[in-house]
Structure 1
Amino acid sequence: MSAAALLNGALLGGLYALVALGLSLVFGIMRVVNLAHGILVLAGAYLAIMITRSVPVDPLLAFLGVGPAVFVVAALTQRLLLQRLLDHSLEAPLVATFGLLLIGQGFFTFGFGTGPLSLSAPWGRSGLTVAGLTVQMVNVVAFALAVVVIVAVQLLLTRTRLGTALRAASTDPATASTLGINIGLMHALTFGAAAAIAALAGIVYGTAFSVDPNAGLPLLVLGFTVVVMGGVGSVLGTLAGGVLVGVVSTAVGALAAPVYSSIAVNVLLLVLLLVRPRGLSIPRLRRKALP
């Protein structure tokens, strides 16, 4: 196992963190486990495929159209469906998002077929040499995007009035509502932003690998693993969890065989839960006191 392989694994962890970030945000603020998260990642990839087939642009530029579209659809879904279900029970949105997962899987199968598809970009195929170590450019792009997005979200949550309102809606919705904070709006913004981040992750994922309609569930499991390792609801912890998953899976794949990578990650997850149930972080969002 080479140092270059470990570096590639750590950088790949940025992509894993980007996949998981929206899942962590939704649970941290809304207390909802979004089982449709994997489909939102696929939506980003498939919409970018549609755009790049029509217009020869870089997949990341396609996000200028994909991101707002996914944000609007997700925010409306939250307001018109999930919020009404959330008013009745915490279990109803869980079942509804699983239904959305199945609907999305069927929709993408009908529209794109069952075969794998991928996005093409110069940075998806090239390499980069850093201090004598060759890494894949797509991993560098993924890690850079993850750092930028995670830091931006963290600053928004901790340094802005909107972030204060979001954390208030997370910590004590009843009190926040009496103070004039529109809880429904905060939840819609959270769900929409999480979906847009998932769509961005899908574009990078579809460039690094390939996607098919059945990939929603594996992506959801990947996101859960990263979130739990980093600390549920922790924004910065998501990056730590992603890097850990990337390094461990790459190391085990190089030392043994790729088929054992997922097994090793799951074993590590169980050990981490026993030793440090709150994950690697950095206090979780839902435990953070308001300023």
Structure 2
Amino acid sequence: MPSFDVVGSSLVSGILLGGVLSLTALGLSIALGVMGLVNLAHGELLVGGAYLAYFILRHAGIDPAIGLLLVGAVMAIIAMPFQRLLIAPLSGKGMEAPMMTMFGVSIILQNLYLLAFTADTRTIETPYAASPLAVGPITVPKIYLIGFCISVVLVWLVHLLVTRTAFGRELRASTADATAAAVMGVDVRRVHALTFSLGAACAAMGGVLLGTAFTFTPSSGATYLLISFAVVVLGGVGNIFGTLVAGIAMGLLQSVGALVLGDGYRDFVGLVLFLLVLALRPQGISMKGAR
């Protein structure tokens, strides 16, 4: 049996890491809730954020935690043409065509990353990335606590954006009934473009935090895509705070799985949870939308 110190540290680490997972899943949840888009390139956008931080922020001498918003803004700008050129023309033609388009984008981005950055395993190095933080018998990496705090703040800011701004009102109207929203004067195409960019920014910022805590390669996005889908299903599509709670729950359950079955089964536990929730409660832990 693991000692109390090991169990406590593992559970707290899982909770903190779960906060970061909620940020990475938030963009996927919003895009699916607002646009009905199953973004299969979500993992590659996340990895793209990690590469941006690795090369741009490192060479500029900017700390990843400080340059996080810059990476998010750059990825949002990059993502805008994808939505305008590839997704918008397929609006109203069902979910299959946009989904397969994003699958193709995923494959293309993986190969571009491979050509540009090789298959070398990388990590975003910072002084605090591997530094431990001890509180009594509990010891966790500092980056987990930093990532959790940043993720919670960003999720809260997205919540304020959706609930307290004019764009948020348009977004919620487009979610409820895009046709009626367009009749009332809402530029639904603009809302969808900004929503996709917001989702890409969230994925990229989550990628920076994960790239600081763990290693990554051009193919790392697939694993995070599956975990993000599990969090979205557990939290409810488009539910911002449900995504936060689900991310924390996912991180905690992954830690429990690693303690009981071994660290190699961490992702296995999360995916089993995804299948169970999908079968038993497909609407997630809340039936509310993006509020």
* Coarse TM-score class (shorter-chain normalised): over 0.9
Residue 110 of structure 1, CA deviation = 0.3
Contact 2:226 / 2:271 at 8 angstroms: preserved in 1?
no
Deviations 1:85-108 (A, max 9, x none): 224443211111001100100000
Larger mean CA deviation between 189-198 and 151-160 belongs to 151-160
Equivalent residues in 2 for 1:6-45, closer than 5 Å: 6-45=11-50
Alignment correspondent of 2:173: 168
Structure 1 unaligned blocks of 5 or more: none
Contact 1:240 / 1:280 at 8 angstroms: preserved in 2?
no
Larger mean CA deviation between 49-58 and 229-238 belongs to 49-58
Distance (Å, rounded) in 2 between the aligned partners of 1:81 and 1:198 = 19
Q: Does 1:58 align with 2:63?
A: yes
Contact 2:38 / 2:95 at 8 angstroms: preserved in 1?
no
Contact 2:39 / 2:99 at 8 angstroms: preserved in 1?
yes
Alignment correspondent of 1:127: 132
Distance (Å, rounded) in 1 between the aligned partners of 2:51 and 2:230 = 24
Name the CA shift for 1:185/1:13 in 2 (closer, same or farther; >3 Å).
Answer: same
| TM-score, with structure 2 as normaliser | 0.93
Contact 2:236 / 2:243 at 8 angstroms: preserved in 1?
yes
Q: Does 1:258 align with 2:263?
A: yes
Contact 1:42 / 1:213 at 8 angstroms: preserved in 2?
yes
Identity of aligned residues (%): 38
Larger mean CA deviation between 227-236 and 153-162 belongs to 153-162
Aligned residues: 286
Equivalent residues in 2 for 1:137-286, closer than 5 Å: 137-281=142-286, 283-285=288-290
Distance (Å, rounded) in 2 between the aligned partners of 1:215 and 1:253 = 20
Distance (Å, rounded) in 2 between the aligned partners of 1:198 and 1:268 = 22
Larger mean CA deviation between 178-187 and 55-64 belongs to 55-64
Q: Which amino acid aligns with 2:25?
A: A
Residue 53 of structure 1, CA deviation = 4.1
Distance (Å, rounded) in 2 between the aligned partners of 1:226 and 1:64 = 23
What's the secondary structure of 2:230's corresponding residue? helix
What's the secondary structure of 1:134's corresponding residue? strand
Q: Which amino acid aligns with 1:216?
A: G
Alignment correspondent of 1:83: 88
Distance (Å, rounded) in 2 between the aligned partners of 1:122 and 1:201 = 19
Distance (Å, rounded) in 2 between the aligned partners of 1:87 and 1:52 = 39
Distance (Å, rounded) in 2 between the aligned partners of 1:254 and 1:18 = 24
Contact 2:122 / 2:217 at 8 angstroms: preserved in 1?
yes
What's the secondary structure of 1:195's corresponding residue? helix
Residue 212 of structure 1, CA deviation = 0.4
Deviations 1:103-125 (A, max 9, x none): 10000000110121110112212
Deviations 1:200-222 (A, max 9, x none): 01111110001101112111111
Residue 159 of structure 1, CA deviation = 2.2
Q: Does 1:96 align with 2:97?
A: no
Name the CA shift for 1:53/1:142 in 2 (closer, same or farther; >3 Å).
Answer: closer
| TM-score, with structure 1 as normaliser | 0.93
Q: Which amino acid aligns with 1:144?
A: C
Alignment correspondent of 1:48: 53
Distance (Å, rounded) in 2 between the aligned partners of 1:281 and 1:210 = 33
Q: CA RMSD in A?
A: 1.7
Q: Which amino acid aligns with 1:130?
A: V
Structure 2 unaligned blocks of 5 or more: none
Deviations 1:152-190 (A, max 9, x none): 111221222221110101111111111111001000110
Distance (Å, rounded) in 1 between the aligned partners of 2:42 and 2:9 = 31
Q: Which amino acid aligns with 1:84?
A: P
What's the secondary structure of 2:215's corresponding residue? coil
Residue 78 of structure 1, CA deviation = 0.6
What's the secondary structure of 2:284's corresponding residue? coil
